[in-house]
Structure 1
Amino acid sequence: MTSQGGNSLLQDGQVFSLQNALIYCNPTEVKMSQMVLPCHANHQGELSMGQLLKWIDTTACLSAEKHAGCSCVTASMDDIHIEHTIRHLQVKPAWHQHDKDTVCVGHVVNIKAKVNRAFNSSMEVGIQVSCENLFQGKEWNVCKAFATFVASKQGTEKIRLKPFEPYTQEEQVEYSIAAERRRMRLAHAETIKALLLKSAVQEECNQSETVNVVPAEKTRVESVELVLPPHANHQGYTFGGQIMAWMENVATIAASRLCNSYATLRTIDMFHFRGPSQVGDRLVLKAIVNSAFKNSMEVGVCAHAYREGSEDSLRHLNSAFMTFIVLDKEGQPITLPQIKPEPGDGVRRYNEANARKKLRLDRKYIISCKQTEVPLSVPWDPCNQVYLSYNNVSALKMLAAKRNWVLDSEKNKVKLSTLEDGQFLSFKIEMEVPLEASTIFLILSDLTRRTEWDPHYQKCEVIQKVNDDDTIYHLITPSVKEGSKFQDFVLLASRRKPCAAGDPFVIAFRSVTLPTHLATSEYTRGEVQCAGFSILQQEDSQTKVTYYNQASPEVLPYITTDIAGLSSGYYTTFESCLKYIERNKNNITLFMQEHKL
C-alpha cells in the first residue's frame, strides 16, 4: 500500500481509492497509445495495416502474460473488421481534417486489451482500437478483435492458468460469451465444409471471355523473408504480429494486381497459428485472389517456414483470408473485374471464398439484427446455424448479466422480477430446486414436453433436430384475447452445458424463419427475440433455475397481469414446473433414450 496526500493505491486488489472514491481497475488491462508517424504509413499515406496488427498483437500479448504470469504465444486472431482507415492526406495537415473516416499522420492510435476468460492453458483477450484527433478532441473506433493466447510450457511442466474472475457487468458478459466464441472457432472449419457440401454456393466458374475477366494467376504473389533478431519476440520466436504484417503485405500486392489500383483492407478472417518459427528461419509467404465480387475481393494468404541446410520440408505456420476493396477518388468502392480461377485448387478456393462470403453476410445480418425490426426472426439454414446458435445463447447470457432488475412479487420462494431497458420490458422468474443441475437440464431440454406443465404451450413438435445441441420446434399457443386466433412460433432451442465450474447450464430460445413453415392464415405468427433457462448448481444439491424472456408484443399479454399484481399465474405455472421435474427425476435414463438427448 502506498499513500500520497490522501490518495491510496492497492496494487494487487484491483480496486484503488482516490480522494475516498473507489475506482475499479481490471488487473489484466493493458493500454498502448502510438502516435502515427510517416514511417508507419504506406505510399498512400495510410497507416500500414501490418503495423497496426503488430501493435494489436503486442498489446494483447502483454495482457495475456499479465494474467498468466509467464510467457504466452498467439494461437489465433479472430475476424477483424476495419471500420475506418487511418490515413494521411497530403493536401491538409492533421489539424485541418474534419472527415471522421480520415485519420491523419499525427493522430494517436489507442489500443486497449484485457483478458475476457481463461480456460485450461489458453485465454481469450479482447482488443479495442480507436483513433484520437488531438487537435479536435475527438475519438472514434477503428476495429475490435478477439485473440487467443496460449501459455508457454516451462520445461516439461504443463501450464494451467488461474481462472479470471469478472467484476463489472461488461466483464461478466464478455466472460460468459467467450465460451460461445470458443465454440465458433472450433466449429469454423467444419462449418465451411458443411456449407460446401449442403448448400448451393458453388457458382459457375467458366466466365465469358471478356476484358473484365482477369486470370487468378496474374494476382499470385510469392515472397521470402529471413527472420532476424529484430523480428523475434522476448521468447526468441518470430513475433506473431510480424508474421501477420508480412502476410498483410503480400495480400495487399495480390489484391492490387487484380485491377492495377491500390487495394484497401477491410476484413480479415481469423489468423490461426499452427506452429512457431525462430530466428534464422526463412518464411515463404504466398497470396492469390481467390474470388472477386462486385465491390470486394477475397485474397488467400499463407506463411510457411524452412531452415537453410535442413532436410525438413516447409512447415505451415499460418493461413488467413483477407477482404479488400478499391476506392475511387471520391472514396467510393469501384466495380471489380471478374476472376478466372485456376483449374483444380483454384476452383476449390473460388468456391470456398464464396462460402466464406455467405457466412460473413449471414453473421453480419444475424448479429446486427435490431430488436425493433420486424420480423425479429432471421432465416435459418445449415450455413448460418453456427452463428444463429451463437447469437441465441449469447443474447440470453447478455440479458441474464444485466443489472437493475426489480423484484415485483414473490410467492413461496418463486420470484418475478422485471427490467425496463429503453423501450423493452424483460422479466425473469427464479426458483430453487433441490436437485442436481444436470438432472434439471435434461428434464427441461425437450420443449415437446413443456405442454405437460405450461398452459401457454398448446402443442409443440420437433421440426428438425439439427445436432445434439440445437433443435427447431413448431409451437402453438392459445390466444389471450377471447375469440382470437391461436398463435404459432418457430423456435430454435440451443442447449449448452457448463464450460467450466461455476457456469450455468443454458437452454436458449429465439425465433427463426423456415421456408417449410411460413406464416399461415390459420394462426397469428408470433416471435420470440430472447428467452430461455439458466440452471446454476449451488451448494447442497440445490439448483437455482431462472427463466428469462425479453418480451415481444406477442408475449407481453401473458405476463402483464402478473407484473401488475392482478394475478399470480406465473407462480401457478412454475409450481407446475417444479412438480413436473419431481415426477421425472427418477426417469433420466429413459428420458434420454426416448428423446435422444
Structure 2
Amino acid sequence: MSASEQLEILEEPPFILENGVKYINPTEVKMSQFILPCHANHCGELSVGQLLKWMDTTACLSAERHAHCPCVTASMDDIDFDFEQRLSVGHVVNIKAKVNRAFNTSLEVGISITSEDPCSGRQWKVCNAFATFVAKGQGSGKVQLKAVIPRTSQEKIEYSIAAERRRMRLHHLESIKDLVSSSTIQKAEPDFDESQHVVPAEKTRVETVELVLPPHANHQRNSFGGQIMAWMESAATISASRFCKGHPVLKTIDMFHFRGPSQVGDRITLKAIVNNAFKESFEVGVCAEAYHQEGWDQKTHINSAFMTFVVPDKGGKLCTFPRVKPEPGDGKRRYREASARKKIRLDRKYIISCKQTEVPLSVPWDPSNQVYLSYNNVSALKILAAKQNWVLNCMQNKAKLSTLEEDHLLFFKAEMIVSVNVKQVFVLLSDMSRRHEWDTHYQRFKLIQKVDTDDVIYHVVSPSVNKASNFQDFVLLASRRVPCADGDPYLIALRSVSLPAVPPTKDLDRGEVSCAGFTLCQEGVTSTKIAYYIQTTPQVLPYITRDITGLSSDLCKIIEALNKFLEQNKDTVHMCDIG
C-alpha cells in the first residue's frame, strides 16, 4: 500500500463546547484488539467471524450506553470489506461505534473499522457498517428510547440520513422480490449444455451444528449475535472452499437480519450452499436455525445471510469460476435471487462512484435500483443541507442568497420565511406540474412515471440562457419525505436520471442535475422556513452565476414569485394530499 493509498482518518476537528471543554459523544465506544494466532484462520489472517464478533460487541456497548438497558442485535447492514491490505497476526484492529439515531424502541449504531501495523505505523480502512439494536426491558417488553441529540456537523448528517437508511432496510426484501420477477433476472435462468464446466450446487452443501454454551451467550442468556454471525461465516467459508478448491476471501455480506432469539442449551443448525457463480465471484447462502431444548422437534429460523467470495491468485488477480448448476425447486429460486443481489450491488456501486465533476451524472433508473437511488437522492440533499461555511452573497426583500465552494464544486442556497403552514408548503412544492407558475426556468413539464407515493420521474424543458443556444431539458427524479420525528424537515430532493423512454433529442440540449431540492422547517404555527439547495453542474451554472455576480436579479424574482404563489394558494391545499 502506497502512502497515498493509506487511510486518511476522516474525523472532524474537536468540537469545543461554550465552556471550552472538548465534546465527546456520550455513546461513543472504541475498541482496539491485537490479532493473535487464536483469532486467525489457516492462512494467518484475521477470521472475518472474529471481526464480526468484535464489531457486534462494540456496537452493543454503544447502544446500551444510550438505552441504559440491555440491547439485542436486530440486523447489520450490507458490509463491503476492503482486504487489499490483509489483516495478519500482529496487526491491530481499531473499532469505533456510536449511536446515530433512536427510533422509538430501536436504534442505529454506526461502526467504523480501521487497522494498523504498530511496527510501521501504517493505518488503513477495513470497512464501515450500520447495526440496528432493539432495547429490551424486564420480561419481553420493549423500551421507549430517548431521542439522540446530534452536536457536530457529522453527527447531524448521520442522524438525518439514518431515517433514510431505515426506510431502505424495510424495503430491502421487497426490492429483491420485485427484481427476481422482472424480465432482466428471468433471462438469467440457468441453461447448461454438456460442453460446459458445471459444478452441481449440492456438492457445496454444508451442514453443521453448534451447541449454545454460556460463553456464547450475552448478559440476557440469549445467544450472542456476534457469535451467531461468526458461525454463519465459518459455514459459508467451508462451502466456498469446496466450490473454489482454494482459499476464498470474503468480499461482501448481504444484510444480517435476526428473526428470533436462541438461548443457552439450544442447538444451532447452520446450512450453507453456493447459490450462483459469476465471472470472478460467487455467492454462498447460509441460514441459522435453532432447535430449542424444550422441544427438539421444533425449530426457529434465526438468521439468513448471503456472502460473496473472491479468490485472488499470488499476483492479486481474481480467479474465474465455472458455472453452478442449482438444485431443483428452491435452488433455482436462490440462483435467481443471487443474480438480483449482484445487480443491486453493482447499481449501488455505480451510484456511489459517480463523480460529481464527470458527465454523465445521471444514473439509469430501473426497478432494481429504485430504492437505493431514492435513498441516494435524499441523503445527498441532507448532506448538502448540513454543510457549513456558507457565504452570504446578497439579501433582497425576503430572500437570502449564499454560496459555498468545496472540492472544486460550487453549491448554492436560497432561503426565505413564508407565512404559510409547512404542510401546505410541502404539498404545493411537491406538485411539480405547477412549478412553472413561479419558476421561469421550468417552461414545460411532463410526468413520465409515478414510481410510488414518494418518488416521481418527470421531464422538464428550460429556456436557453442566450439566443444562440437550444433550450435544455432534464429528466429528474423527485423524492419527497415527510418527517419521521419532531424537528425533522420536510424534504423534496431532485436529481437527474436516464430513461430509455426519454432519450436526448437534437432540438434540446440534455442537462443534468446532481443534487438539488427543498428543505422545509416549521417556524411557529403558520410560518415555514424554505431553503432551496443546488449543486451546480455545467448545464445549471449559467442560470445561477448571473445572480451570484450581481448581474441579474432573476433568481431573487423567482424566490419572490414563489412566496406570492404560496400565499395565493395556501387555502387550496387539502391535508389528505400529504402521503
Of 72-81 and 427-436, the range deviating more from structure 2: 427-436
Aligned partners of 1:179 and 1:154: how far apart in 2? 28
* Aligned residue in 1 for 2:118: 134
Which letter does structure 2 place at the counterpart of 1:397?
Answer: K
The superposition leaves residues 285-337 of structure 1 with CA deviations (integer Å, 9 ceiling, x where unpaired) of 00000000011000000000012451652100000000011222223211111
- Residue 294 of structure 1 is matched in structure 2 by 279
By how many angstroms is 1:154 displaced? 2.4
RMSD: 1.7
2:424–2:575: 8 Å Cα contact kept in structure 1?
A: no
| Rounded Cα–Cα distance in structure 2 between residues aligned with 1:543 and 1:65 | 37
1:171 aligns with 155
Asked if 2 retains the 8 angstrom alpha-carbon contact of 1:77 and 1:145, the reply is yes
The aligned counterpart of 2:215 is: 230
**Letter matched to residue 482 of structure 1:** K
1:362 maps to a residue whose letter is D
Corresponding residue SS for 1:236: coil
Matched, 1:343 2:328: yes
CA distance in 1, matches of 2:37, 2:90: 9
Question: What code does the residue aligned with 2:453 have?
Answer: D
Instruction: Determine helix, strand or coil for the equivalent of 2:318.
Output: coil
Secondary structure, counterpart of 1:375 in structure 2: coil
Secondary structure of the 2:150 match is coil
Separation (CA, whole Å) in 1 of partners of 2:27 and 2:523:
28
After TM superposition, give the deviation of residue 157 of structure 1 in Å: 5.1
Aligned residue in 2 for 1:441: 426
In 2, Cα distance between equivalents of 1:17 and 1:355: 48
Is contact 1:16-1:25 (8 Å) kept? no
Query: Quick one: percent identity of the two aligned structures?
Result: 63
Aligned to 2:5: none
2:44 maps to what in 1? 45
Matches within 5 A, 1:75-474: 75-84=74-83, 101-155=85-139, 158-202=142-186, 203-210=188-195, 212-308=197-293, 310=295, 313-474=298-459
Unaligned runs of 5+ in 1: 1-13, 86-100
The one-letter amino acid of 2:102's match is: A
Equivalent residue of 2:367, what SS?
coil
Distance 1:156 1:80 in 2: 30
Alpha carbons of 1:309 and 1:103: their partners in 2 closer, same or farther (altered >3 Å)? closer
The answer on whether the counterparts of 2:80 and 2:127 sit within 8 Å (CA) in structure 1 is: yes
| Higher mean displacement: 293-302 or 550-559 | 550-559
Deviation at 1:400, TM superposition (A): 0.3
- Name 1:513's counterpart in structure 2: 498
**Aligned letter for 2:38?**
C
CA distance in 1, matches of 2:182, 2:504: 25
Report the counterpart of residue 541 of structure 1 in structure 2: 526
The CA deviation string for residues 79-122 of structure 1, in whole angstroms up to 9 with x for no partner, is 0011016xxxxxxxxxxxxxxx2333111000000011111011
CA-to-aligned-CA distance 1:215-266 (integer Å, 9 cap, x gap) = 0000000000000000001111100000000000000001111122121111
- Where 1:67 maps in the other structure, the secondary structure is helix
The question of 1:502 aligning with 2:487 is answered yes
Superposed CA deviations along residues 430-478 of structure 1, whole A, max 9, x for unmatched, are 1101222111100000111101111111101101111100000100000
Q: Contact 2:40/2:88 (CA < 8 Å) preserved in 1?
A: no
Q: What is the CA-CA distance between 1:589 and the residue it aligns to?
A: 2.9
Q: Do the aligned residues in 2 keep the contact of 1:199 with 1:383 (CA within 8 Å)?
A: no
2:573 partner letter: I
Alignment-derived partner of residue 65 in structure 1: 64
The one-letter code of the counterpart of 1:28 is: T
Determine if the alignment matches structure 1 residue 580 to structure 2 residue 565: yes
Whether contact under 8 Å (2:63, 2:133) holds in the other structure is yes
Q: Deviations over 1:533-586 (max 9, x none)?
A: 000112232211110010111111112121112232222111111111122211
**Shift in alpha-carbon separation, 1:588–1:247, aligned structure 2, 3 A:** same
Cα–Cα, structure 1 residues 366 and 110, in superposed 2: closer, same or farther, change >3 Å?
same
Q: Are 2:189 and 2:336, in contact at CA under 8 Å, matched by a contact in 1?
A: no
The answer as to whether partners of 2:45 and 2:86 remain within 8 angstroms in 1 is no
The separation in 1 between residues aligned to 2:559 and 2:297, in whole angstroms, is 65
C-alpha distance in 2 between matches for 1:218 and 1:248: 18
For 2:37 and 2:296, locate their aligned partners in 1 and report how far apart those are by CA, in whole Å.
42
Tell me if structure 2 keeps the 8 A contact 1:258–1:337. Answer: no
Give the equivalent residue in structure 2 for 1:92.
Answer: none
Query: Which stretch shows the higher mean deviation, 560-569 or 335-344?
Result: 560-569
The alignment partner of 1:384 has SS state of: helix
TM-score by length of 1: 0.92
Following TM superposition, by how much is the alpha carbon of 1:156 offset from its aligned partner in structure 2, in angstroms? 6.1
Aligned to 2:468: 483
1:566 maps to 551
The structural deviation recorded for 1:205 is: 1.0
Letter in 2 for 1:68: A
Give the Å deviation of 1:167.
Answer: 0.8
Q: Name the counterpart of 2:3.
A: none
Instruction: For 1:590 and 1:540, locate their aligned partners in 2 and report how far apart those are by CA, in whole Å.
Output: 15
Aligned length: 565
Unmatched runs of 5 consecutive residues or more in structure 2: 1-13
Judge conservation of contact 1:199–1:382 (CA < 8 Å) in 2.
Answer: no
Q: Secondary structure at the match of 2:43?
A: coil
Contact residue 281 and residue 308 of structure 2 kept, 8 A: yes
Tell me: CA distance 1:156–1:388, structure 2 relative to 1, closer, same or farther (3 Å).
closer
Describe the SS at the equivalent of 1:128.
strand
Moved more, 195-204 or 160-169: 195-204
8 Å CA contact 2:79–2:254 kept in 1: the answer is: yes
| DSSP-derived class of the 2:332 partner | helix
In 2, the alpha carbon distance for the partners of 1:457 and 1:469 equals 21
CA distance in 1, matches of 2:154, 2:46: 30
Cα distance in structure 2, aligned partners of 1:17 and 1:399: 24
1: CA distance, partners of 2:344 / 2:139: 41
Q: CA separation in 2, counterparts of 1:447 and 1:290? A: 44
